[in-house]
């Protein structure tokens, strides 16, 4: 589909395809197209299906889209409008492969990587509310500490936030990585880099990733047809928790207080969870593609 092979190597492709195989013929949503590796495998394995693919990053637009796919540069928060525009009533399957693509990490100018010099940007697409520069050079220390603690689950959030504010103006990604590394006590530095969690936190804040995920899942559940499947691959515990809790809430039936003699909530169970525990990549897959290391795949089916 016209993407250079190094754009991104898709994770757990065989598992994604095998969960979608029974749905051949229906429309499959790829909510996070990236380099299109999952879409390509889905189109090959489901010859009667169409794929509706979206990505908020304009770089992800395929040069030569497959005849059975439509692509939109959009946030998956606007899924319902896109389906309407495409004349699609419901989805047979939906895939969310979260986080950033290798392309986004590898291109220094995008500012995602603590390993590459680049501007403090980190926007997945131009629709993001602010840049990493605004977070790092303008937000107050409290706010910076909060996001590093909440979105980075970083023990030294307060020290790091203080160091960032004290080092302003922070010029670029390598400057930021050095300031963060210097704020962490020697001997307690995270691997592979002491700035990993801080960079993750700033990226999540810039792109409002957790709110987007919550909204995107909500829409996907609503738009799936009966027996349609929702597959989510997450890469850190904050994402996985949101997915797990949404699936569990959808799989619950009556939510009336136990003391009520009859059900008054009339709640209809929406989802059947197909993966009791998340699936993880095999050791050889991780050896082959280290970015698969933290992947967790969960599947639920619309009832």
Residues that bind ligand SAM (CB under 6 A): 8, 10, 32, 34-38, 54-57, 60, 75-76, 97, 99-101, 124, 212
CB 262 within 8 A of CB 212: no
Q: Return the number of the residue (198 or 207) whose C-beta is nearest ligand SAM.
A: 207
Angle at the Cα of 38 (from 37 to 39), degrees rounded to 5?
Answer: 95
Q: What is the three-class DSSP state of 136?
A: helix
Task: Report how far residue 37's alpha carbon sits from residue 290's, in angstroms, rounded to the nearest whole number.
Answer: 16
Q: Nearest distance from residue 132's CB to ligand SAM, in Å?
A: 15
Q: Return the number of the residue (125 or 182) whose C-beta is nearest ligand SAM.
A: 125
Q: Nearest distance from residue 156's CB to ligand SAM, in Å?
A: 27
Q: Nearest distance from residue 289's CB to ligand SAM, in Å?
A: 11
Q: Which two tokens stand for residue 56?
A: 């908020």
Q: Which residues pair with 27 in a beta bridge?
A: 50
Q: Return the number of the residue (170 or 206) whose C-beta is nearest ligand SAM.
A: 206
CA of 198: how far to CAs of 131, 157, 178, in Å?
15, 8, 12
Q: Nearest distance from residue 246's CB to ligand SAM, in Å?
A: 15
Q: Return the number of the residue (52 or 179) whose C-beta is nearest ligand SAM.
A: 52
Q: Return the number of the residue (124 or 157) whose C-beta is nearest ligand SAM.
A: 124
CB 196 within 8 A of CB 205: no
Q: With b meaning 16 or more CB within 10 Å and e meaning fewer, what string describes 29-50?
A: bbbbbbbbbbbbbbbebbeebb
Q: Nearest distance from residue 252's CB to ligand SAM, in Å?
A: 26
**Residue in the shown chain whose Cβ atom is closest to ligand SAM:** 34
């Amino acid at each position: 589909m016209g993407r250079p092979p190094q754009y991104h190597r898709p994770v757990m492709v065989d598992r994604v395809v095998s969960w979608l195989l029974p749905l051949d013929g229906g429309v499959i949503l790829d909510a996070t197209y990236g380099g299109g590796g999952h879409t390509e495998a889905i189109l090959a394995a489901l010859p009667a299906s169409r794929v509706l693919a979206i990505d908020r990053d304009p770089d992800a637009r395929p040069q030569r889209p497959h005849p059975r796919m439509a692509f939109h540069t959009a946030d998956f928060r606007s899924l319902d409008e896109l389906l309407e525009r495409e004349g699609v009533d419901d989805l047979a399957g939906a895939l969310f492969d979260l986080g950033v693509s290798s392309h986004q990490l590898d291109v220094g100018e995008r500012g995602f990587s603590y390993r590459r010099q680049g501007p403090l940007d980190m926007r997945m697409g131009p629709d993001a509310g602010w840049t990493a520069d605004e977070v790092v050079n303008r937000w107050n220390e409290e706010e910076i500490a909060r996001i590093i603690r909440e979105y980075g689950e970083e023990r030294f959030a307060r020290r790091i936030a203080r160091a960032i504010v004290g080092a302003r103006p922070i010029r670029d990604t390598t400057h930021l990585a050095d300031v963060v590394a210097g704020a962490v006590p020697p001997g307690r530095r995270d691997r592979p880099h002491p700035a990993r969690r801080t960079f993750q936190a700033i990226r999540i804040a810039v792109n409002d990733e957790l709110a987007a995920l919550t909204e995107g899942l909500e829409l996907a559940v609503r738009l799936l047809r009966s027996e349609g499947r929702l597959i989510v691959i997450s890469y850190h515990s904050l994402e996985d928790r949101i997915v797990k809790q949404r699936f569990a809430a959808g799989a619950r039936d009556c939510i009336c207080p136990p003391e009520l003699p009859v059900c008054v909530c009339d709640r209809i169970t929406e989802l059947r969870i197909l993966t009791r525990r998340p699936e993880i990549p095999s050791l050889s897959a991780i050896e082959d593609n280290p970015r698969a290391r933290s992947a967790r795949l969960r599947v639920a089916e619309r009832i």
